[in-house]
Amino acid sequence: MASVKNYFSLVKFSHTIFALPFAIIGFFLGLKTMHFFESSNATSFTWNTMLQKLMLVLACMVTSRSAAMSFNRYLDQQFDKLNPRTSNREIPAGIISASQALIFTIISSILFLLSCYFINSICFALSPIALFVILFYSYTKRFTALCHIILGVGLSFAPIGAYLAVTGSFAVTPILFSLAVICWVSGFDIIYALQDEMFDKENNLYSMPVIAGKKTALSFSRLLHFFSALFVISAGIMNGFSFLYWIGILVFCSMLVYQQSLVKPDDISKVNIAFMTANGIASIVFGVFVCLDISLF
């Protein structure tokens, strides 16, 4: 019987830290739109309402990502078994069975849809689309090198989804953050894919390193990270954020440059540092400073 720890490992729960700060940013932007941070009593958005919404948003984040990751592991089990880098994952190692992973995917998907239902009507109406995208991603490496972009789109639902949960409407600023997430995630996923270039070629799988080579793939990754920085800078200029936001921008952009400097076409030994450490710092620190700015100014 697989333990909770095994399932956490299956879905790489620690990687939730990448998109979660952007969801919180979207949530705080929504609170500001609803005048939650104002000292007057004019707002009808109470602390109780805020906490309920926050718990539901967190539930959506955890369940959607759990569904996506467990389905990816289920679908890729044969490839994971053949790839030396992934052969010790839970399904090929026999820690969690394929059927257990699929059941976990179904349960997580249902819980995600239920969480959206209790948030508001627009989130529930859009939830099947979001679920389709994050599950469909697992198929994309079989036929397109744009799989990195699809992954980015899946994670980009975090800021706009959280904003919708609070306000029930769209706005330009959370969309800019979503565009930043698409470029950021796609860029670092290309870096991560460098590890499997030869394996993917041998097994007819697609990625940017496979179709373009390491050098061109890294150049494309850098271009995507440039646009990611451009989107968050645009959001800052458009909204007139304070110095706190720009401190967050400085750290975020520095981490983008740092992770790109760690990886070369002929040296990918530091991919894991570029992937986990740099991105973790980028998202957490940026999220903290942006939320402080939104709530204080």
Percentage above 90 pLDDT, the chain: 85
Percentage above 70 pLDDT, the chain: 97
Contacts of 160 (CB under 8 A, 6+ apart): 26, 170, 174, 175, 177, 178
What is the reported pLDDT for 150? 97
Domain locations along the chain: 4-296
Indicate the pLDDT class of residue 11, thresholds 50, 70 and 90: confident
Indicate the pLDDT class of residue 4, thresholds 50, 70 and 90: confident
Segment 151-180 shows an average pLDDT of: 97
Stronger pLDDT, 97 or 276, i.e. the higher one:
97
Contacts of 64 (CB under 8 A, 6+ apart): 108, 112, 130, 131, 134, 157
What is the reported pLDDT for 254? 97
Cβ pair 21, 281 in contact under 8 A: no
Burial of 51 (0-12, 13-18, 19+ CB in 10 A): exposed
What is the reported pLDDT for 41? 53
What is the reported pLDDT for 7? 84
Q: Is 254 left (phi over 0), alpha (psi -120 to 50) or beta?
A: alpha
What is the reported pLDDT for 5? 85
What pLDDT digit, counting tens, does each position of 54-92 carry? 999 999 999 999 999 999 999 999 999 999 999 999 999
What pLDDT digit, counting tens, does each position of 209-222 carry? 999 999 999 999 99
Cross-strand pairs, 267: 264
Does the pLDDT at position 40 exceed 80?
Answer: no
Does the pLDDT at position 1 exceed 60?
Answer: no
Segment 171-178 shows an average pLDDT of: 98
Q: Which fold has domain 4-296?
A: Tetracycline Repressor; domain 2 (1.10.357)
Segment 193-215 shows an average pLDDT of: 96
- Mean pLDDT taken over the chain: 94
Cβ pair 200, 230 in contact under 8 A: no
Segment 118-143 shows an average pLDDT of: 97
Residue 188 CA to residue 285 CA, distance in Å, equals 17
Place of tokens 């760690």: 262
Indicate the pLDDT class of residue 44, thresholds 50, 70 and 90: low
